[in-house]
Structure 1
Amino acid sequence: MTDSRHASPTRRAVAAGALGLMAASTAQAASQDERLVYVGGQADKDDQGIVAARLNLVTGKLSPIGVVAPLLRPTWLVAHPSRPLIYALSETGYGPGEQGQVHALKADPSTGALTVISTVASGGGGPAHMSLDREAGGLLVAHYGTGHVAALPVRADGGLEATASVQANTGSGPAPQQQGPHAHAVMVDPTGRKALVADLGADRIFVHDYDAATRKLGPPDEASVALPPGTGPRHLAPHPNGRFVYLLSEIVPETRTYRWEAGRLALVQTLRAGGEPPINGAEVAVSADGRFVYASIRVEHVIVAYAVDQASGELRELQRIASGGKTPWSFALDPTGRWLLAANQGSNTVTVLARDQASGRLAATGQAIAADRPTCLVFPAWG
């Protein structure tokens, strides 16, 4: 397998020329009413990788820029909260003893162009998810392939250093895809001192101590919680108030509300989010004002909207709406909260849904762009 560091001179020249053309046209088209969005996916060809687009915040029109970083399988992306940096994993390393990779890329906000500034081993096989710590001095990586969770230091220039800490969790479940641990998401809690890991294979949310100064992860502690066998926890989303955490499970599509207090999770509510397997859950997110939660359900091809009880954190289903494509792997709310973009892996499209900020309800717009097997969307704060 190859990535952008090992591309042939011809490929690098073609990619650089294409980026130059795109940069020129995009710089002319960009306006204050537009926001940059990056799309990651399962692209595994030399001329594919991270795609950029611009969303018109007034009309919802999504305009493609094109491939801005020809990386191998960039299935998850994270934007630095204040600096023009994007972090992308390459979901590779499924062979014995192999590791995936994580790339740090410098962005040109005026054009969307990305330049790789460092590439390091991810700390395990088959990386699936990443998040930055509160100080953005560390990047945490969850590995579906091997179940490892790793912490990598972020350099002063935004590049990445080799892993500072790796933890190997254990566990299994009754479903065919649960023969071993499969860490599918990782997040740092609001205090910055704990890392929560949703492990699909082990049917657990592992809780680790995390030292932001040294980027060291402790072993899973007694605060880790078990889910019913065969549930398959997939993704986590914190409430802005720091008191609640929402979990979406994959094998049995359910949303769970947890109260987060003193480093412990307490289950508040469980709701069925979809039908019977093989219908499965994919992504969960909370609106910036904390009033609504959204979840994507694959096979049913829908986005589910929930209202949040601000006192208890409990959810009430408001709506189930078609994502506008097939297999909504992930989605993202734009910074204004007026639009929701869905990455429809099964139909090779990114679609735009309008969002009523008062009611939380979504509506189709008919806006869409093509993207090769999209799995992730990110709106950088600096874009």
Structure 2
Amino acid sequence: MTSPLPVPVPGRPSPRTRIAYLGCRTTRERQAQGEGLSVLAQDADGGLQPLQLLRGLVNPSYLLLNRAGSRLYAVHGDGHEVSAFAVDGASGRLRPLGTRSTQGRNPVHLALTPDETALVVVNHLGASLAWLPLRDDGALAPLQALWPLDGPIGPHRSEQTQPKPHFIAWTPDGRHLLVPDKGCDRIHVRRWRGDPTCLADAAVEPAALLREGSGPRHLAHLPHGPWTVVLNELDSTLVRFARVPTADGGLRLQPLQCLSTLPDDFMGHSRAAAIAVAADGRRLYTSNRGHDSISVFDVEVTDGGLRRVQVQASGGRTPRAFSLSPCGRWLYALHEDSHGISRLAVDPHDGRLGPAQPVLATGSPTCLVFAPAP
């Protein structure tokens, strides 16, 4: 049994700190030991200190800040709800703004529309996108639209029993939504014209298909060109796509490259989990649950080509998520099954990772997001 978070220290953070928000699993069904939604302060040496803990929230498992850092949104994993919080600009502390139903089960990911007037939530089970408008104060209005996602399921007997969308991201131009579906081995593509009704069936683009049994989970865009990288959970691979516009304003994803996130000599059980790109676009990182590591890839900025250069132990069990510090100095690995966060130094020259060091004991962490600079 892990020790709970240290008692939060009241008051305001030092001007030298940056605020971060930590989500976790809390339920017995997940064998979780988390306590709720936490506000943390990152100090100059990469340490994390608790400032606030909101107890009583069920599985606040994935978090999202608006661009200004004034509102935080959290899905409640394994449930059917999403919550909104106001962020105090001086202290970073949270104030609840209410909770709304997503009319689906196990909401796992969320994204704001490009104009930040609505929230789109992915329901993992029931396979749908939930559209919730935002009120002027950032609170959630009732669900306005629900779009089912469907397709032929993959061959994995236990993980691909139905469509299982797991992530949602806008293309950099804000014109399309991309939704990796672990159950159907495809990326759903939806065109966006500024009106939620335009995400109906008429706006569905041809899906991008992946290898059977690959289980696409998350994706990231490379900043130097029209390239999107998809992380496949079940076979622990990366697939790089080119985003190709069509003559009628649509989008086609053209596969260019596939490579493993695991060492060539590893034959054990592992599942890929999270993906992130460094701020300069020259490095890409993924996490491996089972091998319990972070993989580092060099990115060729001229053509987006990827090359795996390091697989570094993450310092705990089951790194479901990780987060790159905005300063670029640290990568934080969140270990869901060993109940702690490790800090790995990022080399400023080549992006390689140093040895993992424990930085915070906390139950079942699943998401860490940093507030924008004050």
Q: Structure 1 length normalisation: TM-score?
A: 0.87
Change (3 A) 1:81 1:199: same
Assess if the C-alpha contact under 8 Å between 1:248 and 1:283 holds in 2.
yes
Cα distance, 1:287 vs. partner?
1.0
**Which of 118, 125, 134 in structure 1 is aligned with 2:98?**
118
CA contact (8 A) 1:49 1:74 kept: yes
Report matched runs for 1:145-294 at 5 Å: 145-171=125-151, 172-175=153-156, 176-214=158-196, 216-219=198-201, 221-241=204-224, 243-262=226-245, 263-274=251-262, 275-276=266-267, 278-294=269-285
Q: 1:44 aligns with which of 27, 32, 49?
A: 27
Alpha-carbon separation, structure 2, partners of 1:32 and 1:318: 36
Q: Does 1:379 align with 2:364?
A: no
Q: Deviations over 1:92-125 (max 9, x none)?
A: 34xxxxxx10101012244332111121112321
Alpha-carbon distance, 1:41 to partner: 1.1
**Which segment is superposed worse, 161-170 or 40-49?**
40-49
1:276 deviates by 5.0
Instruction: Report the residue type matching 1:244 in the other structure.
Output: W
Following the alignment from structure 1 to structure 2, what is the Cα–Cα distance between the partners of residues 277 and 73? 29
Q: State the shift of 1:362 in Å.
A: 1.1
- Pick the aligned partner of 1:134 from 72, 97, 114: 114
Q: Distance in 2 between matches of 1:131 and 1:222?
A: 19
Q: 1:277 to 1:204 in 2, by over 3 A?
A: farther
Change (3 A) 1:141 1:280: same
> Which residue matches 2:327?
336
CA distance in 1, matches of 2:104, 2:348: 40
* From 40, 50, 56, the counterpart of 1:70: 56
> Aligned residue for 1:54?
41
Taking a change above 3 Å as real, the CA distance of residues 47 and 276 of structure 1, as seen in their structure-2 partners, is closer
How far, CA to CA, are the matches of 1:345 and 1:276 in structure 2?
Answer: 22
Q: Deviations over 1:189-217 (max 9, x none)?
A: 11212110000001110001223344752
1:289-312 Cα deviation digits (max 9, x unpaired): 111110000011100011101122
- Aligned equivalent of 2:84: 104
Aligned residue identity for 2:112: L
- Aligned partners of 1:259 and 1:276: how far apart in 2? 30
* AA at the equivalent of 1:135: D
CA displacement at 1:162 relative to structure 2:
2.0
Q: Distance in 1 between matches of 2:197 and 2:364?
A: 33
Contact kept? 1:247, 1:256, Cα under 8 Å: yes
The amino acid that maps onto 2:63 is L
CA–CA distance in structure 1, aligned partners of residues 356 and 237 of structure 2: 27
Structure 1 window deviating more from structure 2 (371-380 vs 130-139): it is 130-139
Residue in structure 2 matched with residue 7 of structure 1 by the alignment: none
Note the C-alpha offset of 1:242.
5.6
What SS is found at the alignment partner of 1:326? coil
- Aligned residue for 1:14? none
Partner residue, 1:6? none
> Which residue of structure 2 aligns with residue 85 of structure 1?
71
Q: State the secondary structure of the residue aligned to 1:246.
A: strand
- The letter for the 2-side match of 1:183 is P
- Tell me the distance in 2 between the aligned counterparts of 1:166 and 1:377: 28
Q: Deviation at 1:257?
A: 0.9
The alignment covers a number of residue pairs equal to 354
Q: Is the 8 A contact 2:131 2:196 kept in 1?
A: no
Between 317-326 and 206-215, the greater mean CA deviation after superposition = 206-215
Judge conservation of contact 2:339–2:365 (CA < 8 Å) in 1: yes
Question: Would the aligned equivalents of 2:181 and 2:188 in 1 still touch at CA under 8 Å?
Answer: yes
Q: In 2, Cα distance between the equivalents of 1:372 and 1:160?
A: 28
Which residue number corresponds to residue 12 of structure 1?
none
2:248 match: none
In percent, how many aligned pairs have the same letter?
A: 32
CA distance in 2, matches of 1:193, 1:326: 38
